[in-house]
């Protein structure tokens, strides 16, 4: 009942991910319809319901443009959990300011990168030129599209791809 379900707007634009429980509630209340059942059935004493994978809202919902919040989790995801100085993939990464804060560096997408503890310690509060280090990739804000926003669910939900990749 806690599996993710893709929620589409009335125009088939992906807008959210909810739990199976919430999706079934929306379907039973008549607020959404089943688009794809890729997971079998849910059996109760009296009835059998399809277990939704994708649902579509009956009415168009107007919402503001989605944004990606600037958090450590999103910085690590943007950098593919890879140190931007040495290229090492590690589960224990830190966030480093490319231009240190005491030198006027901002808390922004363009100034924050994932770094392993060794590289972060080596760089310290110096600039890249001072410690003779280079970035593997120039940091920038991640794309705000459906593939990036809902992409982490695609590994277990391949049937979502046609609905996500078009937006």
Residue 5 has pLDDT above 80, yes or no: yes
Q: Are 15 and 53 found together in one domain?
A: yes
| CATH number for the domain that contains residue 108 | 1.10.30.50
Asked whether residue 140 is assigned to any structural domain, the reply reads no
Task: Confirm whether 152 is domain-assigned.
Answer: yes
Mean pLDDT for the chain overall: 88
In this structure, the answer to whether residues 126 and 159 fall within a common structural domain is: no
As a whole number, mean pLDDT of residues 26-55 equals 86
Question: Does 59 lie in the same domain as 12?
Answer: yes
Asked if residue 138 is part of any domain, the answer here is no
Q: How confident is the model at residue 2, as a pLDDT?
A: 79
Residue 91 lies inside a defined structural domain of this protein: yes
Residue 160 pLDDT class (50, 70, 90 cuts): confident
> Does residue 166 carry a pLDDT above 70?
no
Based on the domain organization, do 55 and 14 belong to the same domain? yes
How far out from the chain centre does Cα 151 lie? 6
116, 94 Cβ separation under 8 angstroms: yes
Domain enclosing residue 96, as ranges: 80-131
Residue 71 placed within a domain: no
Domain count of the chain?
Answer: 2
Do residue 87 and residue 122 come from a single domain?
A: yes
State the Cα torsion 154-50-3-44 to the nearest 10°.
Answer: -170
91 or 96, greater pLDDT: 96
- The whole-number pLDDT of residue 82 equals 96
Confidence of residue 93 (pLDDT cuts 50, 70, 90): very high
Q: Is residue 139 part of a domain?
A: no
DSSP run (H or E) holding 122: helix 117-123
pLDDT score recorded for residue 159: 80
In a domain, 84, yes or no: yes
pLDDT of residue 167: 57
Instruction: Over range 62-68, report the average pLDDT.
Output: 84
In a domain, 17, yes or no: yes
Return the percentage of the chain with pLDDT > 90, whole number: 51
Q: Which residue has the higher pLDDT, 151 or 90?
A: 90
């Amino acid at each position: 009942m806690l599996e993710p379900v893709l929620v589409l707007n009335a125009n088939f634009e992906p807008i959210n991910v909810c739990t199976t429980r919430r999706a079934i509630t929306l379907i039973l209340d008549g607020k959404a319809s089943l688009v794809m059942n890729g997971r079998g059935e849910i059996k109760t004493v009296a009835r059998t319901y399809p277990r939704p994978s994708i649902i579509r809202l009956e009415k168009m919902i107007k919402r503001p443009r989605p944004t990606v919040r600037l958090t450590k989790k999103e910085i690590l995801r943007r950098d593919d959990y890879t140190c931007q100085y040495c290229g090492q993939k590690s589960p224990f990464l830190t966030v480093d300011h490319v231009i240190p804060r005491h030198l006027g560096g901002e808390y922004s997408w363009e100034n924050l990168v994932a770094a392993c503890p060794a590289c972060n310690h080596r760089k310290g509060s110096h600039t890249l030129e001072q410690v003779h280090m280079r970035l593997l990739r120039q940091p920038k804000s991640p794309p705000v599209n459906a593939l990036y926003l809902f992409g982490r669910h695609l590994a277990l939900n391949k049937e979502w791809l046609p609905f996500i990749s078009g937006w």
